[in-house]
Amino acid sequence: MNWGNRLLLVFAVFGSMISYMVYRCMETPVDLVNKEYYKDELVYQQVIDGAHKANGLSGKVILQQEASTISLQFPAEMKNGAVSGTVLFYCPSNKEKDRQLPLKVDAGARQEIETRYFSPGHYNVKISWENKGVNYFTEEPFTIQ
């Protein structure tokens, strides 16, 4: 085999590998974090401000998994307050596992969520709440067993 045929064979193999990689990349599912990402990006300053205000509180929101519930304990400043907002359990690996729930905090600034609504796995818990006209935001990694 002369050098011209070898060169042609190398280009054919290279082209075949590139074609295969393009095919594999096109078959890989790509889920966006949010379908409304551009609109969310425009109001992201509110998230930054809410996180800054949440960091100024006496403590952080504490997430704990107990036997059949997940408990959210808000800082002491939220006790006996009218706390409203949402909690988003965002699963980075599967958007079908995402769950968004309204906050229903008791007088002790605590909320219980049943684990039957969730599949086991890793979640990023994004809590956005409002108390006395002030917006707060926090995000914590959490693993459900």
Q: Where are the domains of the chain?
A: 1-30, 37-144
Quote the pLDDT of residue 108.
87
Domain 37-144 indexed as CATH 2.60.40.10: yes
Quote the pLDDT of residue 37.
74
Q: Which residues of the chain have pLDDT under 70?
A: 31-34
Quote the pLDDT of residue 135.
92
Quote the pLDDT of residue 94.
83
Instruction: Strands of the chain (E only): list them.
Output: 62-65, 69-73, 84-90, 99-102, 110-114, 121-131, 134-144
How far is residue 92's CA from residue 97's CA, in Å, rounded to a whole number?
9
Quote the pLDDT of residue 33.
66
